[in-house]
Amino acid sequence: MKSAASLPAMMSAAAAPPLANFTATTTSRPSAPSIQCNLLFSVRHHVYSHKKYSKNGITIKYGDLPKHVRPEKGYSSTSVRGTIYCSNQKERNVGLPSDHIAVGAKVIYAAAPAMGHNQESHPECNSRVPAILTALEKMKLTSKFRGSDVVEVQNFRPATTDDIGSVHAGPYISGLEKAMDQASEKGLIFIDGSGPTYATATTFQESLLAAGAGISLVDSVVAASKVSKDPPVAFALIRPPGHHAVPKGAMGFCVFGNIAIAARYAQRMHGLKRVFIIDFDVHHGNGTNDAFYEDPNIFFLSTHQAGSYPGTGKIDQIGCGSGEGSTLNLPLPGGSGDTAMRTVFDEVIVPCAQRFKPDIILVSAGYDAHLLDPLASLQFTTGTYYMLASSIKQLAKDLCGGRCVFFLEGGYNLSSLSNSVAESFRAFLGDRSLASELDDPSYLHEEPLKKVKQIIEKVKHIHSF
């Protein structure tokens, strides 16, 4: 596999979507145990006896389940904030009651770091989510320091294959699941034509967990919005990322379309018909784009660097059929930064959302447009991400009862990634930004604001606002 430094060239053109082709490499690595269980959501402050087992840096606690839960076999993991129940029973927990989050919480998040899904020296590696969690702890943005303002949802179930099937083709899902045996034997495989997406023995189950985290947060936000006019913003700190995964296969580091799956779930299980998706990753979210290209009830809006991977997201790609006009792509010229994005938010994102009148806002939060990220050449700063988080939170409050869930996508410089997510948390909490202490303005250069203005005017003309 090429180094992170050589990846921009490797990702310069679009890759054809795969069906279910998986190619084994000769790379071998210790395989993590596959997780064969469903996670049942229950926030109660019980503590059960347990034994600890550590594998690949993850501590798993095995213990007795409470009497009212009687699966054939189960595991329990506990913390001061809640309890995780793992069961092989097929149970669906729809419409979580409001007591599953702290009343008055400002931020809820769930972490699915996919520690077994990893390739050494690959930018999309298993260090990403732990780096974020470490930064949140160091910067005192967790419940340990913020009390009930911040709630970590540790007890979520994996997505079901039916959940995944609401977006992805059956042959792809079953093909990936079957390929796990091959990954277990070989240590690492690549999904053909996915430009480039690897898989290990745990990829399928950990991808179900990532999608499940997003679904659980949708449940929690919806439940909170029924009892509060100011529900918490939710953030799914998950991997593998998802916005490049097309209906027929994986693509560009992404396995399942986490945000697309959550959008369909919100419609199906909560009756939230109109979903507004904002994607500010530096790369175009072609998978999300394709999933909803003909759907008038899901508005997909992407800002991304013009000419970057995967080569899609042209300004004239606006949806088709009954979905014409419900896709907006805004490719930004290289060098665009904070001023450009603030202008785009005020002049494009806000009026589009106001006209669409969403029931919920979902956000593909990619942090690879940061000045220090190795895979692109925009110049967002941590201050840009604070602005986006704060503005989107207010937009959701104004338009859809505060219902808003962020989904981690890209971001490959661990320092800028973790600092920028921390700034997003500060924005959700209403804290002042610390961007002036984190950003070095000496790295910035003049933005191409004339070109940005021309693109904005063209978008306004195409979409008639």
Q: Which active-site residues does the annotation give? A: 244
* Residue located via tokens 């909560």: 270
Q: Which pair of tokens denotes residue 16?
A: 């054809």
Task: Calculate the CA 199 to chain-centre distance.
Answer: 18
Q: How far, in Å, CA of 444 to CA of 458, rounded? A: 27
End-to-end CA distance of the chain: 45
How many CB atoms are located within 10 Å of the residue 17 CB? Answer: 22
CA distance to 58, 121, 212, per residue, from 155 (Å): 16, 31, 10
Question: Could you tell me which residues are beta bridge partners of residue 465?
Answer: none
- The HSE-up count of residue 137 (CA atoms within 13 Å, CB side) is 7
* Residue located via tokens 């004239």: 316
- Can you give the C-alpha Rg of the chain in angstroms? 21
How many CB atoms are located within 10 Å of the residue 376 CB? Answer: 24
Q: How far, in Å, CA of 161 to CA of 142, rounded? A: 32
Q: How far, in Å, CA of 372 to CA of 391, rounded? A: 23
Q: How far, in Å, CA of 423 to CA of 442, rounded? A: 20
The reply to whether omega before 240 is within 30° of 0 (cis) is yes
Q: Which residues contact 19 (CB under 8 A, 6 or more apart)?
A: 169, 171, 172, 175, 248, 249
